[in-house]
Amino acid sequence: MHKPGVHAHTGSGGGLRRSAAQETQELFDTSEAQIRYRAYSRLQAAAVAMGESLAIPEIVAIGGQSDGKSSLLEAFLGFRFNVREVEMGTRRPLIVQMVHDPTALEPRCRLQEEDSDEYGAPIVPETAVADAIQRRTEEHLRKAGGIAVSSKPIVMRAEYAYCPNLTIIDTPGFILKAKSGEADNTPDEIMSMVKAQASPPHRMILFLQQSSVEWASSLWLRVVQEVDPYFQRTVIVASKFDNRLKEFGERWEVDKYLSATGYLPPNVRPFFVALPKDRAIQSSAEWRRSMAEVDQAIFKHLRDGIKGGFDEERFASRIGFTNLKKFLEEELSRRYREAAPATLALLQERCDAVSAELMAAEIRLKAAEDVGALRRAAMKYADTVARQVAVLLQGSAEPDPMQHGLTTDEERAASRAPQWPGVSGGPVLPLHHDSKLFGGAAFERCLEEFHMAVNSMRFPTSMSNDRLRNIMYAYKGKHHSGGTAKAAEDIARQAAKEALGPLLDAACIRLAFILRRLYDIAADRAAATMGSKDNLHPYIAFHAGLRTAHQAFITRLEEQARSMLRTHLEAATSQFAMNMYAHVPDPGDPLDATVGSDDEGDEEPAGGAERRADDAEVLNERLKAVQLAPGAGGPGRFEDNTPSRRATKSRRMALQEAERKQAGGLAIGVGPSSDDVVAAAESLFRKIRCAVATQYAPATLKSTFLDPMTERLALEVSLDMFARSDADFGGMFSAAGAVAALASKRDLLSRRVEGLIKCKNEFQELAKCL
């Protein structure tokens, strides 16, 4: 039962019987809390200025639109400033850092610059703060594409003699429906934004709801439960309490409402607050005095206007802004004390981390200025990559073939030569064509594939009769004893150049592609074997230049190989080679090289393979005699230096006799048919093909590609990369103005380290008073 007079001098109830001046003095006298909040206030100010993220206890105000969040913020500040817009008062989160400064008899408010840690000039008078916030908000929303709300906060620092040391975050109010002209998802965007602001565990949630709304009908209480399920860091405030107070006539009605029994968890005790409604109040002193008068009027009505009064012992400490402010100060003070050890440890960690960043910046700046050190490191890395390429060409099982290797089909598709020109009847499938190979293994497989492709080429039997007659009549009369043989040579020469030339070019393209792929594999291996400092990972321009140097060297090798193969093809089709072919048996068409053949069951006659191998060896040895005179542009002298031991004397004589008969059939016969000429040309074509496939091309491709890659790669790349001036070389490691930018970053980190150390030392001393 209520006992009159019990609460006359207890808690806030008794205080409200004193004068308004006394209440105002009590409400905003923060001298007792000055030391308590000073440490965290200065810590937070330093953290925001330096862009640090520290888990400092803060208050985030959430609630429905027009539930009074911004007015409550003004009450804490002690002056009015908020953007006054009927439909949406706050459209961006507003972080207000309140700093109690007894010397600031007038509010000093400064807005933090957008995308900067710096604060602007103080805004005077305080009534201009609203316009500044509104302009900042509208400009940002316009730049963001005309959106209705934004999650990017506005930060305002307020220094005043009548405000506590608190940080309060005012958020956009929840809405059910977007207003005309706004996006339909505006309510959802506001909901997500507010949840993000309220989710950090170091923030207290100040949830406001108009007292005219029944607890059971609350629309936004569930949002609080999503971020704080057990209301462990939530303070619920029923705003505009004076409006609801008019509905009560008896004590039981008031007590039932104030207890909120059955609607809120037992551990939740809401506050009931009313603030002045007169927007005509301009001066800060009037605003503060009016708040004290409203609190006094609320208690007077509860005591005198309600029959039987109310249970002051239970509810007096939860009514009025004065008690809310006192509770928040005490709660924050408790949280400050509890967080002090962790905060100090976090400060030490940040000091160590930023110091390490500063040291790394110093090293990087010094390295950027020391071109000699950069050259040494770059040369070491380039040499490591070149050695890795050589290892990969020689054969290495360490790189994962599934990651770096390609099958024959994948290799064809990725290169600029997906097919072998002129090869028909199906794809050329070398041994292990379905295995993923790279490096030297892929090179050898490609050579085998090239050999099969060359052997699969057939003499073009579809040559037109007009072309044959043109060649035959051209030689008639010029060579009385061998005009027909000369015609056959010319036909074979042209057919070989047209058929084998594109194949040689395709081989160069495929092999160059295999070698180009080695750079990425070698670079990965080099990075794995070297430290992060030695592999020069941050210098993108250097790595791009090194890659370009590797690719350029391989391109030069490709051009050299193509030129040498063309030269060998000219040698293999020269007149001296044709004279030599007269003493070499026809190697025939290898059955095992036929692509897409359906005669899988055909068997070669006994001894055929051995004879072909012997004949090919004789042919290869004799081909060594064909040389081109330097600078002459044509065939030089013929010198038969073939060792006699390559075949027995009887074997050589038999071959020569057969060749004389074959040549005599064309030279002596009268009016040989075109079929005879084609047959002779086809035989010569096969001999040229054998010379190219077994002698010239494989040896040239290996000597032109593999030997330089293992012997000259490092030197050629070094000449491209390092034979340049210091300014040109340094350009790969720092863009124009990069050294100045590094120095600026170093200076910024130095200031951060200095500020953090100073802040840590101050906090360590001030925390002793918490």
**Contacts (Cβ under 8 Å, ≥6 apart) of 598:** none
Q: What percent of the chain clears pLDDT 90, i.e. is strictly above it?
A: 12
Between 251-265, 551-565, 638-652, 744-758, the lowest mean confidence (pLDDT) is in: 638-652
The 3-state DSSP class for residue 155 equals strand
The 3-state DSSP class for residue 81 equals coil
Name the residue with higher pLDDT: 340 or 654: 340
3-class secondary structure per residue, 278-289:
CCCCCCHHHHHH
pLDDT of residue 282: 66
* Closest-CA residue to 149 (of 111, 184, 176, 189): 189
What the chain holds in terms of domains, given with CATH numbers, is 50-319 (3.40.50.300), 373-584+673-731 (1.20.120)
pLDDT of residue 665: 45
In the predicted model, is pLDDT for residue 452 greater than 70? yes
Cis peptide before 125 (omega within 30 of 0): yes
| C-alpha distances out from residue 31 to 34, 65, 337, 433, 453, Å | 5, 35, 18, 86, 95
pLDDT of residue 640: 41
d(CA 561, CA 600): 36
Contact assessment for residue 8 and residue 14, using Cβ atoms and an 8 Å cutoff: yes
Name the residue with higher pLDDT: 373 or 21: 373
Instruction: Name the token pair of 286.
Output: 């009037």
Between 23-37, 106-120, 372-386, the lowest mean confidence (pLDDT) is in: 23-37
CA dihedral 109, 112, 118, 123 (to 10 degrees): -30
* Closest-CA residue to 167 (of 328, 330, 346): 328
Mean pLDDT of 172-195: 84
pLDDT of residue 466: 59
In the predicted model, is pLDDT for residue 457 greater than 70? yes
Q: Token pair 């603030």 is at which residue?
A: 275
Mean pLDDT of 503-519: 89
pLDDT of residue 241: 93
Between 155-169, 194-208, 643-657, the lowest mean confidence (pLDDT) is in: 643-657
At 652, is the pLDDT very low, low, confident or very high (cuts 50, 70, 90)?
low
Q: What is the pLDDT of residues 680-701, one digit of tens each?
A: 888 888 888 888 877 778 888 8
Q: What is the mean pLDDT of the chain?
A: 76
d(CA 293, CA 24): 9
Q: What percent of the chain clears pLDDT 70, i.e. is strictly above it?
A: 74
d(CA 476, CA 671): 10
Contact assessment for residue 465 and residue 483, using Cβ atoms and an 8 Å cutoff: no
Q: Which sign, positive or negative, has the C-alpha torsion 637, 641, 647, 649?
A: positive
d(CA 289, CA 276): 10
At 12, is the pLDDT very low, low, confident or very high (cuts 50, 70, 90)?
very low
Name the residue with higher pLDDT: 66 or 630: 66
Q: What is the pLDDT of residues 20-50, one digit of tens each?
A: 444 444 444 444 445 555 666 666 656 655 5
